[in-house]
Chains A and B, each alone.
Chain A
């Protein structure tokens, strides 16, 4: 008997009678994987949810601060931070961080590649803070460039938070 004929017979027999509890359970189980995939964020601990929320706010606040400084809406005391070279660097950094943040959020929501994304982001953050320290170490001062200094000082914290999130994430 061909497989097509067999499947037709099976479907017609299923239509003819009502499903019992075992069959309903089997159907629900078959779709449970897709439900779990979308519920990746709901299974996490409260600390994890709090960390990812704080991380989003942190990144958005610093991106916002950067654009306020760039367009002269906030006061800066260190004139060296207003050069075009510095803006090129921070434009690049802000853009890359923005896309990484989007990828992390999508990965967390759809339960796909979140750990790898956290690893990549933490490596990127560590590399960028090392570069910044090498290039702009002289610019760091809590009085002359408070936003910049705060940003550099908190970068290792961000990297640690990303590592922790990657390790504690429940697939």
Chain B
């Protein structure tokens, strides 16, 4: 029990030492919620949710989605490790991930909208509708890490 309390205390001190605002942690929590929800939607989608009349578009969407899914999974695992252990680089990692999220958002809406087709399933529509919120959260995190200074970073 004492070990557990000590570990929680250590974690709390580590979080406090980073000198980040509560909004940063809320934004990070929302980002994790969004990405986990997206992963759940991708991994559990039924086969009949796609428009089977347009097989090429479906195949493209599936291929792109699985490539993105793997990058998201790696990021979800390594982001907290970099945040707590390699604080010097967290700003650049966050900016890179934000740039990637914006790039794929722009790609989906301005460039690839004729090539890929997302299913009309409820959860996918919900995820697409809250996608700008993810970008806002990532942008907030990038700006906060760029413009606030702390001794730990």
Contacts and interface: CB of A to CB of B under 8 A. Distances in A.
Interface of A: 84-85, 88-89, 92-93, 96, 116, 119-120, 123-124, 127-128, 130-131, 134-135
B103 A124 contact: yes
B106 interface: yes
Contacts of A96: 106, 110-111
Interface of B is mostly: helix
Nearest to A95: B110
Contacts of A89: 111-112, 114-115
B92 to A, nearest CB: 7
A131 B100 contact: no
A127 B104 CA distance: 8
Interface residues of B, number: 20
A134 B60 contact: yes
B11 interface: no
A130 B113 CA distance: 16
B96 interface: yes
Given A96-B106, A130-B67, A123 B100 contact: yes
Contacts of A123: 96, 99-100, 103
B51 interface: no
Contact of A128 (B60, B92, B103, B115): B103
B63 interface: yes
A131 B107 contact: yes
B111 A93 contact: yes
Given A119-B96, A123-B100, 13 more contacts: A84-B114, A88-B111, A89-B114, A89-B115, A92-B106, A96-B110, A116-B95, A123-B99, A127-B100, A127-B104, A128-B103, A131-B112, A135-B112
